[in-house]
Amino acid sequence: MQRSDATSGLTHLPPDSPVRRQDFLLGVATAAFQIEGASNTDGRLPSIWDTFCRAPGKVLNGDNGDVACRHYEKWAEDVELIAGLGVDAYRLSVAWPRVMHADGRKNDKGLDFYKRLLDRLREKGLDTYVTLYHWDLPQHLEDRGGWLNRETSYRFADYADLLSRELAGRVTAWSTLNEPWCSAFLGYGNGHHAPGLSSTRYATQALHHLLLGHGLALPALQVNDPAARRGIVANVGAASPASPTPEDREAARLFEVQHNAWILDALFKRQYPDDLFRLWPGSEPLVLDGDMDVIGRPMDYLGINYYFRVHVKSDGAHGYTEVRAEGVERTQMDWEVHPDSLRRLLIGFKRDYPGLPPIYITENGCACDDRIEDGRVRDPQRLSYIDRHLSAVDGAMREGVDVRGYFIWSLMDNFEWAFGYERRFGIVHVDYDTQQRTLKDSALAIRDFLAARTP
């Protein structure tokens, strides 16, 4: 067996860290649009990302998801790859356009793909964490307003009902949504992601309908698949003031209101933060009676995705502006590496949201400009990144935060949304011409770490 002789492994964790125990779940993650390909196969419908990729200038190099990593064809090989790493779990998403026809009927061919995949994963002893929505809204729903249309929340609940009936017993834990902040703000607020609209008023309304869909889906998941846990995945942001002035400290606080409290207050306090509308005057969404009670329905866990910290200063009015810090470590995405912000945020969430359910870090990882040299991919920055963030999780757990697991983003290099195939997050290298998968040094070190865990 090839071992990670060029790395020192995960060295920042104390020997007694709970992260080193077998009861702390460690997994890898992907998303359907980013790896599956086969965009016109077996009745799959177009999604908003198929449309967005074909709009000139929206995706780097004009890349699209038509082929991606050919996971739809190579799924059995990929399951062997995952199992060979020794991880406990695999987090994946289902492509809504692959499993439902436009009239709401199920697409058996698409469903059969996920049934085979999930069955094989369970045969390999892997827990399955399944996300219902990882950004690939069927285009026919966007044509009727997408997440700006309240009706989409109800169509999402129908989809959740169908999928949880069809896949019942195959799923360890369901996530309703992945990163609703990104779907709402990047998709409808600044146009960086599909469907490419730009209005803060659109962003707040889309976010409300996303969260409403989440709440509407929870009862069906409970009834149809009662043994599976139910939750949602939120991306969170960390800010540091550019100076110690009160104005810049307030700017950093407002950044975290916009990135974190916007979602978490709705889920756990059943209200949107008033400060959000100081940032975006006049952007209040239309909220009907009872909506917040639906959104605030109890969950079994909360997924947290964290990647980087930003520096901000006051804009001199009612908000903030980001500034570039010099002399800091950055990834291929130009994101600052700051593991301690993850620890700080987790401790703050425990403080601010009494009754918070158990947390899983559902995404954390690092994009690097990885290349195969002499049959090997050396990625020391990625391994160091994962090591230090696991140490940050350990620090939060020692402060009483109930963190149950951690998923690396991602299993393999894939379609990185607006950045196409240039940015590589995988611990497994993908040659997009040959579809050859190659374990990077980080994957080898993680495999060794997992094999050495204590009971």
Q: Kindly list the catalytic residues.
A: 179, 363
Backbone phi, psi, residue 46, to 5°: -65, 145
CA atoms within 13 A on the CB side of 322: 11
Residue 323, helix vs strand vs coil: strand
Q: Which amino acid is at 35?
A: I
260 is written with which tokens? Answer: 């974190």
Helix or strand holding residue 119 (H, E) = helix 108-123
Listed in sequence order, the residues at least 6 apart from 70 whose beta carbon sits closer than 8 Å to its beta carbon are 37, 38, 435
CA nearest neighbour of 97 among 71, 135, 59: 135
The rounded distance, in Å, linking the Cα atoms of 161 and 221 is 7
CA atoms within 13 A on the CB side of 163: 32
Q: Measured between alpha carbons, how far is 73 from 412 in angstroms, rounded to an integer?
A: 15
Calpha distance 9→176 (Å, rounded):
34
Helix axis angle, 200-224 relative to 262-269, nearest 10°?
40
The span from the CA of 269 to the CA of 262, in Å, is 11
What span, in angstroms and rounded, lies between the C-alpha atoms of 151 and 146?
9
- Residue 294 DSSP class: H
Beta bridge partners of 356: none
Closest CA to 207 of 131, 243, 260, 144: 260
